[in-house]
Amino acid sequence: MKKKTTNLARVAKGCVYALIVGVVFQFGACSKSDDINPSDEDLLNKKIEDIIPPQYVDSLTKLGFAINKGTTPPNIDGAYLFKPFTIKSSNIPNDSYAPGYVLNDGMIKLYEQSASDFSIKMLGKNFIGAADTSVVTAISGSGNKFTVYGKVKAYRNGGYSFYAFLMSGEKEGSNIKNGIAGIINIDDSHSGPGTIAQGQGRVAFDGDYISGPTEFNSRSAVVAERNTISSIPFQLK
């Protein structure tokens, strides 16, 4: 009788062990599968975090910048004019660009938008500097609303910083409605004098709330960027 109980106990232990191994294997297989085949949302979130760390997104939203989330943004390929390009807010102490200050007209060209990996290419003028070229860019949104996220290397006074540039709006025909842009310094470890500090930024918007199509000279923007004058004259930064 004692021997029978021992055998049953051994069988029970074996079943429990097999169950635990099966559960661990199942969870491991799911994790591996998720890594190999991430969801659209996971793919986009990873792309955004590679451009701008979450704490800096929070900083811009506290300044009144609106984030449009989602994995089905509208196609916004085109060139657009922000005029009058008007300061909304800033977290820079004693900033000379007070709310309501009108900047030089901002122009942006967006092209080669991809619905499969949420990438998009961007060239800008007078957002961060005379010529802004994003080294990596992503787009989120749904319906007609979108947010573009870009990382820009900007040169000034013998140094350079990395900025996150964000732009939100709503596509309406050939225009962007309620266009708003935000920049924030995300790496000032190689910056020159006269540059805003890491974590500091500004938000500005199109004062007439309609950013219409415009001609954008891509060649001059690229030449300016290659000559490392992408932050002269500086605007939002």
Q: Mean pLDDT, to the nearest integer, of 223-230?
A: 38
Q: At 119, is the secondary structure helix, strand, or coil? A: strand
Give the pLDDT score at 82. 97
Backbone angles phi, psi at 205, to 5 degrees: -140, 165
| Strand segments (E) across the chain | 71-72, 78-82, 85-90, 102-103, 106-111, 121-125, 132-142, 145-156, 159-172, 175-187, 201-206, 210-211
At residue 155, the pLDDT reads 87
Report the C-alpha gap between 39 and 17 in whole angstroms: 33
Q: What is the 3-state secondary structure (H, E, C) of 2-50?
A: HHHHHHHHHHHHHHHHHHHHHHHHHHHHHHHHHHHCCCHHHHHHHHHHH
pLDDT per residue as tens digits for the range 159-203: 999 999 999 999 999 999 999 999 999 999 999 898 999 999 999
The rounded distance, in Å, linking the Cα atoms of 165 and 151 is 6
User: Hey, which residues does 136 pair with through a beta bridge?
Assistant: 151
- pLDDT one-digit tens code per residue, 14-25: 554 544 444 444
Non-local (6+) Cβ contacts of 48 within 8 A are 57, 138, 140, 149
The CA-CA-CA angle for residues 94, 96, 101, to 5°, reads 130
The partner residues of 83 in beta bridges, in order of sequence, read: none
pTM, rounded to two decimals: 0.79
Per-residue pLDDT tens digits for 92-102: 999 999 999 99
Return the closest-CA partner of residue 146 out of 122, 116, 180. 180
3-class DSSP state of 220: helix
